[in-house]
Amino acid sequence: MTTAAPATAPAGGRSFFITGLGIGQICSWGSLYYSFPQIAEAMGRDLGWDKPQLYGAATLGLVLGGLAAYPVGSAIDRGHGRAVMAGGSALAGLLLLLWSQVESLPVFYLAVAGIGALQAATLYEAAFAVVARRTGAGEARAGITALSLWGGFASTVFIPLVELLLSGLGWRGALMVLGAVNLLVCAGLYAAVIDPRADAMPVRHADAAPPPGGRAAVAAAVRRPVFWALALAFTAYAATFSAFTFHLYPLLTEKGFASASVVAAMAIIGPAQVTGRVLVWLFAARASVRAIGSAVVAVFPLALLMLAALPPSFALIAVVAALYGGANGIMTIVRGLAVPEMLTRDAYGAVNGALTAPATVAKAFAPVGAAAIWAAAGSYDAVLVGIIAGGSLLAVGFWVAAALSRREATR
């Protein structure tokens, strides 16, 4: 005897599910993540607060998000994806409205740290876990790839939109609009398209043991060297990505590039991310995530070494931005698929949450660490060396994980 899985959802239903999640991800990423630097800059000018005060709240939020990653993933594994993502968006919307009214630092820290924590319930990791729950971890590849394509447009849509809101409504009005986006659009979409009744359930023999739950699956995963190699790789990636993203502009201007050239080069990164994901979708749909990841992780240290070693020119930074953006876009897919294809198909949300928790913390502290290195060394040369080291550690960690995973698969 077997326990039957629900009938496969019709193609139109699957399309509605991914499209709804995708639009929600554009709005969640755009309003909760990409909008912060623009709003913080306007807010700091208005209230007289400096950058350490403003970005300290964002750092605290990212740390809390890392701590929330495992319980959020575990809750989604238990079928609570609708409550997690819709409820998280609604709470984030309320906190954005609270932020729009702040006059003191404690209230600001409460709002922004809360928003950072809720990113664990509303951004890619939660959405990927919802997809894995709907399709089964073994069949999640197409949905995760499609979802990453949708999310790639978040900065393209929301950076100019936030700038328009700031110029027309001021930072308080902009935050009120973003709060409404979360309350009405994000929460509404997640509530509409995430239906636990449509989730795939594993087919198994009646006398077989049930698949392990979150704690058991995580306990089994952490006993495998592949888990720790992936954790090393993804933590190094998060730190490298965060430090490079936050310090790219001052790093390039210190190297003598004109501001207009730096902005033009940085504008290449977003479209390059989407291009990288499209190329994987078109030409590597059947390639293993081990092969895709092993190739793409080599791009990060290569691009950074080019930036450090070659004579400064706009053509150089444009190539570096394109390579970096394309590789970063593909890494989003690799991170989403590494757990089911390289580690385990049990309890995707919990295992992925445990794997990404240290990466989220590293992402929070890397910009501060890079700033400290710059202050001690007096230039960005030492920071660039550190970022190159992080990119190299990412590559080595993933290559080790791929080799271990391949060896386990052939046993």
Domain boundary assignment for the chain? 11-198, 214-409
What is the predicted pLDDT for the residue at 102?
93
Region 273-302: mean pLDDT is 88
What confidence category does residue 138 fall into, taking pLDDT thresholds of 50, 70 and 90?
A: low
What is the predicted pLDDT for the residue at 10?
44
Same fold, 11-198 and 214-409: yes
Q: Say what percent of the chain tops pLDDT 70.
A: 92
What is the residue-averaged pLDDT of the chain? 86
Give me the CATH topology for the region 11-198. Growth Hormone; Chain: A; (1.20.1250)
Map residue 35 onto helix, strand or coil. Answer: coil
Contacts 24+ apart (CB under 8 A), 369-376: 369/239, 369/243, 370/243, 370/246, 370/247, 371/247, 374/247
Helices (H) and strands (E) in the chain, counts: 18, 0
What confidence category does residue 308 fall into, taking pLDDT thresholds of 50, 70 and 90?
A: confident
Region 59-75: mean pLDDT is 89
Which residue would you say has higher pLDDT here, 226 or 313?
A: 226
pLDDT of 207 above 50 = no
What is the predicted pLDDT for the residue at 210?
54
What is the predicted pLDDT for the residue at 213?
59
What confidence category does residue 202 fall into, taking pLDDT thresholds of 50, 70 and 90?
A: low
Region 171-187: mean pLDDT is 96
What confidence category does residue 401 fall into, taking pLDDT thresholds of 50, 70 and 90?
A: very high
- Superfamily, domain 214-409: MFS general substrate transporter like domains (1.20.1250.20)
Which one of 8-12, 152-156, 199-203 scores highest in mean pLDDT? Answer: 152-156
Residue 55 contacts residue 366 (beta carbons within 8 Å): no
pLDDT of 326 above 80 = yes
As given in the structure block, the two tokens for residue 74 are 């575990």
What is the predicted pLDDT for the residue at 7?
39
What is the predicted pLDDT for the residue at 181?
97
Region of residue 390 (left: phi > 0; alpha: psi -120 to 50; beta: else): alpha
Query: pTM of the predicted model, to two decimals?
Result: 0.81
Region 319-327: mean pLDDT is 90
